[in-house]
Structure 1
Amino acid sequence: MGRQEEAIRVADELLADIELKRLKTSEVILKASRLARLVGHTELMEFLGFERGGYPTDGSATTWIGRAGRWADQEQKKFYTQSIAKLEAEIESGRQAIDAMRGGGNYSGDMANLAASRHDERIIRSSASVSRGAGICGQVVATVYDMVTEVYHELLFSELQASLFADTQKKVDGSLAAASGTALDKIERISDRLRDGDPESVSQALTTCRRLIDSSADYVFPAQEEPYKIGDEANLKVGPQQVLNRLQAHTHACGVSKSRRDRLRRTLSDLYDRCSAGTHAEVTIDEARFIFLQTYIALGEILTLSAPEGSESGL
């Protein structure tokens, strides 16, 4: 099981543990600590560290003190610093004391009323202490639950995103390989150099992007002398130089809606112009990376289109 899969499993289990009240607060903290370590969640690790080891009095944990419901007097900056394990021990001790005192006492004589009153006060103090501690524990668990829920959803989205990208990449790579021959080898080399921050790769990346667009147009809609008619719109010239027109003709032949055709044309037109005009001084490495990725995605969308049955793709 990979790290991400393990994190999803732990997060899912922990949410269920909290919802079904299967763990003590200290156990929730420990299990959440494992999740925080798996995903490298800095804020969650910081919060859980305070709950495990106690809170400092130097003002560095003010935010977490509030979220954990630990203020005794916020104006006076007084709060409960003990670790969650010590707090649970105090709660248990308080409950045992209450149980012991519930039987009442056999008081007689002149001091009977005073003794009974003090007995009741001790029960009230113990009950207040238990209630306060239970409230902190509940707030701590609620804070953990909110943060773990966020982590869980992020993990699920990341997993879905990775799965969708992997599926799409497989389809796009196959289509680009068919359309561009050895172009994928060039893509791999250039993308590696762009990741390394090699400035000399900028012009090569842009040139390769332009050639990918050209070769994709040749593959899906070879040049022809006769214009291509798109419904009632003006005829498109689809000669060797009309690369973008031929790609648009292909999307029309595949039955793509006008709004989607227009979006793809605008995207490829901007990319093609940028690739044709780009030089070392005009395009940074970061911009070249995005141009490269956008070209890959746009061509992938076009190359994976399927023409309707009976269509001859305008040829």
Structure 2
Amino acid sequence: MTDIELQRLKASEVVMKASRLARLVGHAELTEFLGFERNGYPNNWSVREWIERAGRWGDAEKTKFHITSIAKLEAQAESHRKAIEAMQGGGNYSGDMALVASRNHDARILNLSGALSTSTGICRQVIATVYDMVAEIYHELLFSELQASLFADTQAKVDGSLAAASGSALDKIERVSDRLRDGDSESVSQALTTCRRLIDSCADYVFPPRDEPYSIGDGINLKVGTQQVLNRLQAHTHSCGASKNRRDRLRRTLADLYERCSAGTHAEVPIDEARFVFLQTYIALGEILTLRLSEATES
């Protein structure tokens, strides 16, 4: 990207360098496009999209296009440029044909200038197209690296908290993973049941059952007995001092997940949906279990 931004390379050099990048990252679209730019385009309309993006049209109506490789276009542009430079001094014309010769000379320069403009325009458009696609790859890689770092850091915290919450919690997660890999309806149902039990065990850890209600203010008292799993999790977020917006978001998320996990024991759930339910359960419980630590850190 820097080479393109600082105009360090010619179009053909940009294409070659980008070809190596496309091969290293396995980018099929960029590989295809650069293959045509290196070797030339087929003389048909099968790759109209790339012709359009490379600006290779030969007329305003877009009924013709240039099939020449980028290297040959560059060579043609250089040849045209040198020819124009050689002709710019004008000619020494005399006699009856002087006016005709002068007009032909000017027409020749005009034609060469038009051809030069076309060739350089295509080269610049190819560079611009390569730049857009390389920038896309760069941001995808940057996001993937950030995503991997965030996930690894979060996973370490969540796994540690789950281990503390229940000695068997991580075993439950392993069983869920195994069942979701199986993919059959019975395994999916068992996996969702395990997710629900994981929520139960976390609630028992962060807020054990109580006979007396728990007040979250504004005259609202929550029953926090054995069966009130979601209420106990809500009471825990309140006792940690989490903001109301955060408490409400976690309450809605866990209520939806608990309902989906419970429904999954009686109805067939697609494997893809079950995997997302598991991931969302894991993340939501991770936030619940690390809440006290994060709130203390913020304080």
Task: Provide the TM-score with structure 1 as the length reference.
Answer: 0.86
1:250 shift after superposition? 0.5
Deviations 1:13-42 (A, max 9, x none): xx1111100000011111222222233333
Q: How far apart are the structure 1 equivalents of 2:283 and 2:62?
A: 58
Deviations 1:187-236 (A, max 9, x none): 12431331342433212211211111111111111112222111223211
Partner of 2:284: 298
Deviations 1:60-105 (A, max 9, x none): 1212212212111253621111010110011111122223333444
The yes-or-no answer on 1:123 pairing with 2:123 is no
Match of 1:181 among 167, 181, 186: 167
CA contact (8 A) 2:190 2:265 kept: no
Count of aligned positions? 295
Partner of 1:234: 220
Match of 2:37 among 43, 47, 51: 51
CA contact (8 A) 2:57 2:63 kept: yes
Q: How big is the alpha-carbon RMSD for the aligned residues of Structure 1 and Structure 2?
A: 2.0
The yes-or-no answer on 1:18 pairing with 2:1 is no
Q: How far apart are the structure 2 equivalents of 1:76 and 1:211?
A: 64
Partner of 1:288: 274
1:304 shift after superposition? 0.7
CA contact (8 A) 1:91 1:130 kept: yes
Structure 2 letter corresponding to 1:282: E
1:302 shift after superposition? 0.4
- Over 3 Å counting, the alpha-carbon distance change for 1:306 and 1:85 in structure 2 is same
Match of 1:60 among 42, 46, 53: 46
The yes-or-no answer on 1:152 pairing with 2:167 is no
Structure 1 letter corresponding to 2:159: D
Secondary structure of the corresponding residue to residue 9 of structure 2: coil
Deviations 1:33-59 (A, max 9, x none): 222223333322222222111111221
Mean Cα deviation higher: 52-61 or 242-251 = 52-61
CA contact (8 A) 2:93 2:101 kept: yes
Unmatched 5+ stretches in structure 2: none
Q: Between the two proteins, what is the percent identity of the paired residues?
A: 76
Q: How far apart are the structure 1 equivalents of 2:178 and 2:23?
A: 30
Secondary structure of the corresponding residue to residue 79 of structure 1: coil
Unmatched 5+ stretches in structure 1: 1-14, 310-315
Match of 2:88 among 102, 109, 119: 102
Deviations 1:148-196 (A, max 9, x none): 2222222222221221111111111111111121221231243133134
Secondary structure of the corresponding residue to residue 72 of structure 1: coil
Mean Cα deviation higher: 173-182 or 112-121 = 112-121
Q: How far apart are the structure 1 equivalents of 2:4 and 2:196?
A: 55
Q: How far apart are the structure 2 equivalents of 1:305 and 1:114?
A: 89
Structure 2 letter corresponding to 1:19: E
